[in-house]
Chains A and B, each alone.
Chain A
Amino acid sequence: MNFFHKSRSAKSAKERLQLVLIHDRAGISPGKLDALKDDLISVISRHIEIETDAVEITLTNDRDQHRLVADIPLVPNRKRRHTIS
């Protein structure tokens, strides 16, 4: 990255704001969300094999409704057979 080029820092200001406000509005800090994610992974892993590194827990919101969105990919069949055997 060339810092003397147009830096467009306003874009990163906006993105950072949008992210931080999602957490502010829901009253859930990023740390709390990480802890929740770890717990979710350990609970779900007891039942099914999941791609733990690819799990994504995100907060979304408009002003009235906060939503926790979990994207939890399962381990693909071929890999799973391999690990089980």
Chain B
Amino acid sequence: MSAKIITITSGKGGVGKTTATANIGVALASTGDRVVCIDADIGLRNLDVVMGLENRIVYDFVDVVEGRCKLRQAMIRDKRLDTLFLIPAAQTRDKTAVSPQDMVRLTDELRQEYDWVLIDSPAGIERGFRNAIAPADLVLIITNPEVSAVRDADRIIGLIEAEEKGPGKLILNRVKPEMVRRGDMLGTEDVLDVLAIELIGIVPEDDSVIVATNQGIPVAMESNSKAGRAFLNIARRLKGEEVPFADLGGSDGFFGRITRMMRAGGES
């Protein structure tokens, strides 16, 4: 067994990296796969609260890097899903406490025993981002249907290609179908036209995400929300299943187009 290492990144902050990491982690673990989520946002720890594991932190990732504990000791097992683990970020340090080589070395230790390692990247294109993508087998770029977020996603796509970590796959998050229908929000097709990248998920804007985050229960744990279902679908696609994309306000030709894209960009 050898884990696939996936980094979730975006360039712009606040588009949903941490929420996506937590939920894709939950969705993959709910199929019985063994999943480790790593918070690579050193100094701005957040994945722990989104996953609802903040009260159980003893050691963090920097403790592991600096040899104060073993990797296993920093891993918090989720009590609700016993194949899901979190390695929290340090809160009192900064990105320079970890190097890209540290990331590669420590994630390699996880490869043998787990199916998936998900890395929640910090915003930006500096050291933290470089750390986060260093060990990645696949990079998921998350964006919102909004000019600033899409522009940053384009920049990230370029950087990932330059680092030979491409091609990444796109998650379009916080789509409001009603606004797309009335022509006031970029639709999936628009964003794909502009970015020319393969799509792996469309997540609708959903109040359940805020409620879930308030409670520390990721939406994907209770699959009856729209966003939760979208994250479960992303997990299925990561596992190689062909899952049709929901039509969130796109034009009539949307499905055919996406199907074509998937075939063209299909995984070998």
Chain A residues packing against B (C-beta within 8 Å): 6-11, 13-14, 16-18, 20-21, 24-25, 62-63
A72 to B196, CA, bound (A): 31
Q: Shortest beta-carbon distance, A73 to chain B, in Å?
A: 31
Contact A14 B158 (CB under 8 A): no
- With A18-B194, A63-B196 already in contact, the answer to whether A10 and B154 are too (CB < 8 A) is no
User: Which A residue sits closest to B152, measured CB to CB?
Assistant: A24
Q: Shortest beta-carbon distance, B29 to chain A, in Å?
A: 35
Top 10 closest A-B pairs, CB basis? A8-B183, A14-B190, A9-B184, A10-B183, A10-B186, A13-B147, A21-B154, A17-B194, A17-B147, A13-B186
Across-interface contacts of B183 in A (CB, < 8 A): 6-11
Across-interface contacts of B237 in A (CB, < 8 A): none
Q: Shortest beta-carbon distance, A48 to chain B, in Å?
A: 38
A18 to B193, CA, bound (A): 9
Taking a contact as CB atoms closer than 8 A, the residue among A7, A10, A20, A24 that contacts B190 in the complex is A10
Q: How many A-B residue pairs have CB under 8 A?
A: 46
A11 to B193, CA, bound (A): 12
Assess whether B151 is interfacial by the CB under 8 Å rule: yes
Which bracket fits the contact residues of B? Answer: 20 to 34
Across-interface contacts of B187 in A (CB, < 8 A): 10
- With A6-B183, A7-B183, A7-B184 already in contact, the answer to whether A14 and B194 are too (CB < 8 A) is yes
Across-interface contacts of B180 in A (CB, < 8 A): 10
Across-interface contacts of B194 in A (CB, < 8 A): 14, 17-18, 21
User: Which A residue sits closest to B155, measured CB to CB?
Assistant: A24
Assess whether B182 is interfacial by the CB under 8 Å rule: yes
Q: Shortest beta-carbon distance, B181 to chain A, in Å?
A: 10
Q: Which of B168-188 contact A (CB under 8 A)?
A: 179-180, 182-187
A16 to B196, CA, bound (A): 16
Residue from A9, A14, A24 with most neighbouring chain B CB atoms (10 Å): A14
Contact B147 A16 (CB under 8 A): yes
Across-interface contacts of A62 in B (CB, < 8 A): 196
Q: Shortest beta-carbon distance, B141 to chain A, in Å?
A: 14
Q: Shortest beta-carbon distance, B146 to chain A, in Å?
A: 8
A21 to B194, CA, bound (A): 8
